[in-house]
Structure 1
């Protein structure tokens, strides 16, 4: 055990909050793109190329109404408005194999999540590095989808308790099973190119279901510009990316519902056709994100923005990608196709120290852009799956040392006023979260 102590201490130093490049993403490469990559590679070389890490997140939450639905850690039970819970308990093992030149040739990761609700796999993947041209890497297994910024930001490093509502609905658990090719030029001097391309093929439903329920595969691609100084006279760093998702769900019913305009009103219209059986209904998304970091004497200021729009196939009562094909009374349910959009905006400010951070986040998710307000009614064929939500979160994060983090966060959640019973005004579902995170 003694030989691991220097490695763990060295890794924690690299992860100090005042390190601009220390944020860990779910699919960090073992290369020298950033300081974390260099540190990981150094540890692998010195300590048998194995790294063990983990964290736990005990928390207390209070919601404004008993039994309210929430995307902040799951719905509350019917007679409860507060709870203690272990939100995450992660254990991760990384292994890298290096050739005689000290270059990574293969990389393997597995990660488990254990809470009072059970134990589940979170990551189980391997990566092969091509070292002739130093350009390609191939990843296979269960890993994070290469889409957007928030989806890939690790929950250990995120400044808010959860990812936004849209991220959880479109890409539940963030991971999927598939294969991904990465183009990222690694030069002989150890540096990499300023741009990276990830393109992968996946089952589609991710970890929200036990297996793939159709033969349709989803293609995801992302082009990223790594953090760069805006000019020679500024310390500010700017990064950005664009993402695309081309996928779908194969209809196992002859009935598909779509939003169409009839008599000056949009309604959910039934399309009954034999041709719908076996037809691929769309899951097509396009997204763009950007980040601006402005270092200062005692920390930094950071702005993030991300916008996603597209078409989503789901069910009558939810716009969430189904983990298993929906069935009622032994019959295959019809699928529902909606046009959506949404966005996330972050403002992060250190408070006279890198250990103290003020957080403001605003996001919206509109699962059905064609209707709003009282148009969203049962008479028009709509449900709570068509409601727009706007969320404003305000929080404070305190890091007393490299292995401990406290988070206090309040979310004000607003649904649009509609013609649906229970949603003619804003439903009471604001959430306060108090969390402690221990990591090693």
Structure 2
């Protein structure tokens, strides 16, 4: 009997011990579950952050350049090293079809904002897109990035009518998947001068309009592709200081300060690509129209007191204030409207897989109504450029270029201005 009681007591004690062990084990398991749950939450947060970071893409490039001049842009200077461009581009795709782009430029002695825009793409037909912000204007050479452009700089006519290349506004773009046609339409403030942002904000109610259309042809058997395009610009600029305007024939007209001067032109473009002996291409564009520039004022010597007098001669207004200590003279030149024309032609030939030869000819006449002595300093320029590109790999390119501008001659400028430039550029991108 005692043995049975001992055995029963043993099992009862064992059962109690087992129950305590199970309870302790449950507590340990629950504790680990809580830790694992907390870890899962932290991991989910990290994963979410990583997914957001994965939507951000960084790219950029640096263009270090050496120029040798056969003239001196500054006293005792005929060559220089500088950074032509140094840019970092951030692209964030928040959701499918919506993209944000921000691109500053860190060139020598300057920091400027180049691109800042949002693109909303049509996710249903994948044909349309809407752009809003600051971006390139609608032109082939303007939109063609400098990292791929075959010569170092854009044509003279493009630099004249599209300073800084960018503008602030909105753009609608249609690019059908199964039809070789692309159409762009944009509305801009029309004031951006490419130097800084203070003039980018609109100062009148009028907006500048741009349109561009491109149709592509492919001849697969011949290995030829042809892009044909047309573009147009219709805008204006608001007068501020002078009540006179000089037209293309230098005839003076009276206007009211605040009137709008027209800026309008049309262009035709063509790009031909031929898969022949490594590949070659021919690119050309012609532009013609009317541009306008505002009056410029210069002031000499500040004046603390005195009586102002005003005179006008040939549309140039001179205001003089005389006092006991000094004299202030402010000269306001008239506004100008000018009929212009310009074009460029590229010939590009690939030499093997890593080299490329380029010949380019461009012409720009800032005033087609006058020539010779009548044009005074508004001379037309023809520029011949030869360039050689060497591609180390997909990210590094070395460019050697020689640019030879030739100007119109008259009595005032009776010989070609010495302004040829030899340039060597190293470009690295990522």
CA distance in 2, matches of 1:174, 1:115: 16
CA distance in 1, matches of 2:228, 2:93: 28
1:251–1:334 Cα contact (<8 Å) kept = no
What 5-or-longer segments of structure 1 have no aligned partner? 1-44, 68-76, 99-103, 186-190, 261-267, 316-324, 378-383
The answer on 1:304 being equivalent to 2:304 is: no
Which residue in the other structure is 1:344 paired with?
344
CA distance in 1, matches of 2:185, 2:108: 36
CA distance in 2, matches of 1:108, 1:244: 27
Which residue in the other structure is 1:149 paired with?
140
Name the SS of the counterpart of 1:89 in structure 2: strand
Which residue in the other structure is 2:375 paired with?
376
Query: What does the per-residue CA deviation read over 1:170-198, in whole Å, with 9 as the maximum and x for residues that have no partner?
Result: 1111001111111223xxxxx35311111
1:55–1:439 Cα contact (<8 Å) kept = yes
Shift of 1:117: 1.5
Name the SS of the counterpart of 1:296 in structure 2: coil
CA distance in 1, matches of 2:191, 2:405: 27
Shift of 1:232: 4.3
TM-score normalised per structure 2: 0.76
Q: Could you say which structure has the larger radius of gyration?
A: 2
Total equivalences in the alignment: 345
Q: Map of 1:186-335 to 2, 5 A cutoff?
A: 191-206=177-192, 207-209=194-196, 210-211=198-199, 212=201, 214-215=203-204, 216-226=206-216, 228-229=217-218, 231-252=219-240, 253-260=242-249, 268-273=250-255, 276-297=256-277, 299-314=278-293, 326-329=296-299, 333-335=333-335
Q: Which moved more, 1:113-122 or 1:154-163?
A: 113-122
Name the SS of the counterpart of 2:384 in structure 1: strand
Name the SS of the counterpart of 2:373 in structure 1: helix
2:190–2:202 Cα contact (<8 Å) kept = no
Shift of 1:331: 6.9
Query: What does the per-residue CA deviation read over 1:393-420, in whole Å, with 9 as the maximum and x for residues that have no partner?
Result: 0111100111110111001110100233
Distance 1:107 1:192, change over 3 A: farther
What's the Cα RMSD here? Answer: 2.0
2:55–2:94 Cα contact (<8 Å) kept = yes
CA distance in 2, matches of 1:46, 1:124: 20
The answer on 1:81 being equivalent to 2:78 is: yes
Distance 1:232 1:428, change over 3 A: closer
CA distance in 2, matches of 1:326, 1:344: 30
2:367–2:375 Cα contact (<8 Å) kept = no
TM-score normalised per structure 1: 0.75
1:376–1:419 Cα contact (<8 Å) kept = no
CA distance in 1, matches of 2:93, 2:237: 36
1:396–1:407 Cα contact (<8 Å) kept = yes
Name the SS of the counterpart of 1:151 in structure 2: helix
Which residue in the other structure is 1:319 paired with?
none
Name the SS of the counterpart of 1:433 in structure 2: strand
Q: Map of 1:398-413 to 2, 5 A cutoff?
A: 398-413=390-405
Shift of 1:234: 1.6
CA distance in 1, matches of 2:246, 2:298: 16
CA distance in 1, matches of 2:179, 2:93: 22
Task: Report which of the two has the higher share of helix.
Answer: 2
